[in-house]
């Protein structure tokens, strides 16, 4: 007997990128909707009045008045070992790494510490409605074991990898080209494709890997099907200059990765603020993706991501929190800041495009849109229940809204973890807000 349960609330999900098909065609909304979940997958979605009479007798129906169900959020770039440095004062990227991040990542050689941090991190992700993320570990392979163990327990669709770093970092955080390859391989064999887990080959960024390490990273990326590649690119102007000095024989930053076989489908590059047109073109034609991380880009003073330009070259773009350079686990908070980053460049981010970036757009960037990202029948039932009455201010502001667009936009500007009533992964509740 399949296990069936239904959820009644307002339902909203994206069907496509509004940029490609227009707002109306890009989403589906049911004011009084019903989401029917069977064995962890979406079985049906529609108007409650139409679907309720079709349910088998005795099917449990959970009702959420004053709430909106959306797909779970997708975070395309985050660091689980950086929870301890979120909100660190006064530095831009390279100093921030030296001063705060590297010392903190050193603590992950201790498995007990890694396990504790993985629990804390996943608790935060789920409290914020994020059900899938592309995650940096540290250089220690046990950091990834601890993370995947915690994900497996909750049956989450997650992607992670061990950092590769064999130069320009403290000795306690470096591997070698060979040991990085061997440790990554061992982790891939242990975790990649197990349950809902995927592995990402994870060179930190070009400055901390030798050409030998990047060569072996490229070899690994080609050796196993459906692996991810996850790194940073063109986040900070000083960083871009440093890459030119370290790799004078390459045409530019992206060419360093391109030369070593690290671009293509399932390659995800965080930031991409200072990419030139040729680099955007190359990312687009190779099916690579960029993670737009607004809270981090503002907090570290890195710059303003040009969404219109990057998307104009056909690049897949997802949204990332980049905790701990980023300042919130909430993708609603990311969208709030994304709106402002785009305002400063004369670009608009409407509520439906925003929802797309945080859900289906992220899933497309990760080539997971056949499984997650919206609530079409057959998709995995990863979803979030957003509370229209989360705070007195949200309650009042939403009561003034006359359209769905207005309501959704205000929720995205005012909302954060407080707006998440409940989070589901593969049809199972994995977080419920107290009260
Ligand atoms: O936002 C960032 N966080 C990091 O940890 C990092 N390492 C290299 N480049 C980076 N950028
Ligand atoms: Zn990062």
Q: What is the pLDDT of residues 97-138, one digit of tens each?
A: 999 999 999 999 999 999 999 999 999 999 999 999 999 999
Mean pLDDT of 177-206: 98
Contact 296 CB / ligand 1 (< 6 Å):
yes
- C-beta separation of 103 from 97 below 8 A: no
List the shell of residues around ion ligand 2, using CB closer than 5 Å: 270, 322
To test the pocket of ligand 1, the residue of 86, 139, 270 to mutate (highest count of ligand atoms within 8 Å of its CB) is: 270
In this prediction, residue 310 carries a pLDDT of 98
Mean pLDDT of 294-305: 98
Q: Tell me the pLDDT band of 1, cut-offs 50, 70 and 90.
A: low
| Residue 325 Cα to ligand 1 middle (Å) | 7
Residues 6+ apart with CB under 8 A from 383: 7, 35, 69, 70, 71, 72, 131, 375, 423, 424
pLDDT at 43 over 90: yes
Q: For residue range 219-254, what is the model confidence (pLDDT) as tens digits?
A: 999 999 999 999 999 999 999 999 999 999 999 999
pLDDT over 90 for what percent of the chain?
A: 99
**What number is the average pLDDT over the span 145-170?**
98
- The residue whose CA has the least distance to atom 3 of ligand 1 is 325
- What's the confidence (pLDDT) of residue 140? 98
Band of residue 176 on the pLDDT scale cut at 50, 70, 90: very high
The reported pTM is 0.99
Mean pLDDT of 325-334: 98
Query: 88, 93, 105: which to mutate for ligand 1, most atoms within 8 A of CB?
Result: 93
**Residue 37 confidence (pLDDT):** 98
Say yes or no: CB of residue 207 within 6 Å of ligand 1: no
Would you state the pLDDT for residue 28?
A: 98
Look at residue 2 and tell me whether its pLDDT is greater than 80. Answer: no
Provide mean pLDDT across the span 331-347. 98
Q: Whose CA is nearest to atom 7 of ligand 1?
A: 204
pLDDT given for residue 117 in this prediction:
98
Question: Which atom of ligand 1 has the smallest separation from the CA of 325?
Answer: 1
On average, the pLDDT of the chain sits at: 98
pLDDT of residue 17: 98
Residue 435 has pLDDT above 90, yes or no: no
CA–CA dist 427, 3 (Å, integer) = 10
pLDDT at 59 over 80: yes
Tell me which ligand sits closest to the C-alpha of residue 242: 1
Nearest CA to ligand 1 atom 1: 325
Q: Which of 133, 132, 193, 184 is nearest to 161 (CA)?
A: 184
Does the beta carbon of 205 sit less than 6 angstroms from any atom of ligand 1? yes
Q: What is the 3-state secondary structure of the chain?
A: CCCEEEEEEEEEEECCCHHHHCHHHHEEEEEEEEEEEECCEEEEEEEHHHHHHHCCCCCEEEEEEEEEEEECEEEEEEEHHHHHHCCCCCCCHHHHHHHHHHHHHHHHHCHHHHHHHHHHHHHHHHHCCEEEEEEECCCCHHHHHHHHHHHHHHCCCEEEECEECCCCCCHHHCCCHHHHHHHHHHHHHHHCCCCCEEEEEEECCHHHCCHHHHHHHHHHHHHCCCCEEEEEECCCHHHHHHHHHHCCCCCCHHHHHHHCCCCCCCEEEEECCCCCHHHHHHHHHHCCEEEECHHHHHHCCCCCCCHHHHHHCCCEEEECCCCCCCCCCCHHHHHHHHHHHHHCCCCCCCHHHHHHHHCHHHHHHCCCCCCCCCCCCCCECCEEEEECCCCHHHHHHHHCCCCHHHHHHHHHHHCCHHHEEEEEECCEEEEECCC
For atom 2 of ligand 1, which residue has the closest CA? 325
Query: 204 CB less than 6 Å from ligand 1?
Result: yes
List of residues 6+ apart from 97 with CB closer than 8 A = none
Q: How far is the CA of 393 from the centre of ligand 1 (A)?
A: 35
């Amino acid at each position: 007997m399949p296990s069936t349960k239904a959820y009644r609330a307002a339902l909203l999900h994206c069907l496509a990128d509004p940029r490609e098909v227009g707002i109306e065609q890009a989403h589906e909304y049911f004011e009084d909707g019903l989401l029917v979940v069977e064995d962890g997958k979406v079985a049906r979605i529609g108007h409650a009045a139409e679907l309720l009479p079709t349910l088998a007798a005795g099917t449990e129906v959970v009702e959420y008045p004053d709430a909106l169900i959306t797909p779970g959020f997708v975070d395309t770039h985050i660091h689980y070992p950086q929870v301890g440095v979120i909100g660190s004062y006064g530095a831009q990227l390279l100093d921030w790494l030296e001063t705060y991040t590297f010392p903190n990542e050193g603590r992950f050689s201790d498995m007990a510490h890694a396990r504790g941090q993985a629990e804390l991190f996943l608790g935060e992700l789920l409290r914020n409605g994020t059900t899938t993320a592309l995650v940096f570990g540290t250089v220690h392979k046990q950091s990834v074991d601890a993370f995947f163990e915690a994900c497996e327990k909750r049956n989450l669709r997650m992607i992670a990898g061990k950092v590769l770093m064999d130069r320009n970092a403290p000795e306690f955080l470096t591997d070698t080209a060979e040991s990085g390859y061997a440790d990554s391989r061992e982790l891939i064999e242990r975790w990649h494709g197990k349950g809902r887990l995927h592995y990402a080959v994870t060179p930190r960024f070009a400055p901390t890997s030798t050409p030998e390490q990047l060569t072996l990273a490229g070899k690994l990326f080609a050796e196993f099907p459906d692996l991810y590649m996850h790194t940073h690119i063109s986040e900070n102007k000083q960083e871009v200059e440093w890459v030119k000095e370290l790799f004078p024989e390459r045409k530019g930053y992206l060419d360093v990765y391109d030369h070593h076989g690290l671009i293509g489908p399932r390659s995800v590059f965080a930031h991409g603020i200072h990419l030139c047109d040729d680099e955007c073109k190359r990312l687009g034609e190779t099916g690579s993706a960029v993670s737009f991380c607004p809270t981090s880009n503002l907090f570290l003073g890195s710059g303003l991501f040009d969404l219109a330009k990057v998307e104009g070259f056909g690049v897949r773009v997802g949204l990332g929190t980049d905790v701990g350079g980023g300042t919130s686990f909430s993708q609603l908070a990311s969208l709030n800041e994304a709106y402002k980053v785009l305002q400063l460049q004369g670009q608009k981010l409407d509520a439906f495009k925003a929802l797309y970036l945080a859900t289906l757009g992220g899933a497309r960037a990760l080539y997971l849109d056949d499984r997650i990202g919206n609530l079409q029948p057959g998709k995995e039932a990863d979803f979030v229940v957003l509370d229209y009455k989360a705070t007195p201010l949200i309650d009042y502001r939403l009561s003034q809204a006359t359209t769905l667009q207005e309501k959704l936009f205000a929720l995205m500007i005012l909302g954060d973890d407080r707006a998440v009533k409940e989070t589901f992964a593969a049809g199972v509740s994995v977080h419920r807000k107290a009260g």
